[in-house]
Structure 1
Amino acid sequence: MRRTTRARLALSVVLAAGSLALGAAPAGAQGEPAPAPTQVNALNAQVQRQLGADSAGTYLDRKTGKLVVTVTTDAAADRVRATGATPRKVRRGAAQLDAAMAALESRAKITGTSWGIDPRGNQVAVQADRTVSARDLARLRRVAASLDGAVKVTRVPGTFRREVAGGDAIYGGGSRCSAAFNVAKGTTRYFVTAGHCTNISANWSATSGGSVIGVREGTSFPTNDYGLVRYTNGSSPAGNVNLYNGGYQEISSAADAVVGQSLKKSGSTTKVTSGTVTAVNVTVNYGDGPVYGMVRTTACSAGGDSGGAHFAGTVALGIHSGSSGCTGTNGSAIHQPVREALSAYGVNVY
């Protein structure tokens, strides 16, 4: 089902593969500090609850780091001001952007494409990787041209793919992935990772050919990309993420990412990389099926990073899914929002 804009190992067996510290947020225009990630994500959640479809998306102002909320009416703008966020009137509302996404889903569902909401541009931002033929790209552009400027199409290098690899980290079914966050339900401990990883195997180890430390409790891919593994080795790992520099980042909450938000991605291949969120409610048309409601970022990633952690400071944001590759320090890492996975399995970060 397509979602709309409205919804929205260290060997100690801390299988949260890669821990990340949030980079410094931009200073405000008058020199005041920008809001902390926890404040930004909490305000974003509040605004989304209160406005729903009356907003066409939110993002962080590049200069101040403060939350901007797109609206189409003066009444909605007043409601935004009451929350402490900044309103911005735009041409297209949530319904129009939803309609554009629906048109792409029905008329231009092409392997190697991805689309999602870019609230800064008040558009649906479409990316086509190098596997998309000239004929299919022309079809994609025709559909975009029929949608009154609501869709912008760009070519990207590389190929959108799930980033499973053979190697080191968490192992199952002859493949390597990464784990995202340790989670709990009561006194039972688990970790979450990518669904395309848990689809591969029911049993997971901390080393290649090592003893099983966890068994699959749930998996969802395609459509979603999350899975749950229950620890079976008697361990009770800490609720933190490995920073790959000798340190660890505590995780205390989970939230949905905001466009413009700085984050870090940690995985067993590229370790810790940084980036910003560029689009939400993203559809990615992988070769073995689509995923919906994802988040697009500029963080770098590579094969084996699948299932790793995306987060901002102490806030868990997502589970690494894939990318179209990385050029220098500019990547296209895609994550599955972690709150959806937590809700699906009734577990919590700790």
Structure 2
Amino acid sequence: MLGAAAAGYAYWHLNNNIKSVDIDSALGDNRPAKAVTAPAASAAAPLPTGSLNILVLGSDSRSGKANQALGGGDSSGARSDTAMVVHIDAGRTKATVVSIPRDTLVTRPSCPLSSGGSTAVAYQAMFNTAYEVGGPVCAVKTAESITGVRMDHYIEIDFSGFARLVDALGGVTVTTGQDIDDDKSHLHLKAGTHHLNGTRALALARTRHGIGDGSDLGRIGLQQKLVKALLDQMAATDLLTDPARLYRVADVVTAGLTTDTGLDSLGELMKLGQSLKGLTSDQVKTVMMPVVTAPSDPNRVVAREPAASDLWASLR
């Protein structure tokens, strides 16, 4: 009885950690068509096997003391510091991760607001402002408007959630091809292989002043290295044989996540994770949406055509 009660409490606790947004209801039917996929599940294959498109955002919100400390103090509002469209092929054995530079100038569509009303259409707006003005709903709508790809799910993680996830997994191992010296992100690394804890992994994901030309484009490559490093670490850590670690990781993941309502339960998240258990880092392709310097601003970029449209068409 005590064991059942403890298990029940643990499930309730993890389930209630998850924050969610009802994106489907907010956006209605005026969206790209869903992809034609393999059957979702059957008696012979209880886990979903169809293709999926997931918008994954890293929020730069400084809400809460932990995020303020990791993000470098207080800052008003919140933007999508990192944006990736994760396309998982039917069969769940291959995936493509497309990074959208936050400084990309786009036409931001009118988005419904939870308080009522809607935002105005904005031209030549930075992509990451969609989250700032309209939260997850506007981030999804803006991503769908520039890609033509229906986002089946939405996952958002903040500074502290990412750092705690890395720590719960025992850190990540990454290899950098150049020295990184960035006083703003407090990251100083020599070129080579490093095992990073959560705080340093977050700094690597955020650094841009110590690499390349100091723009957002340079750090996208580092973020994609981290995605593969996390996949490798998850594969190397057999959570199913270590219940204590499994609970710690689940506790961290659910506490740091905001999802759409289709993923807002522990059961749905576990089902998604189990369906991806055959996905390894060498089966994940990472690319960046093709861009060029914006004619109107040398510090901004715009989609490079027709390459960008060809990329989104290939995912559809």
TM-score normalised by length of structure 1: 0.24
Which has more helix, going by share of residues? 2
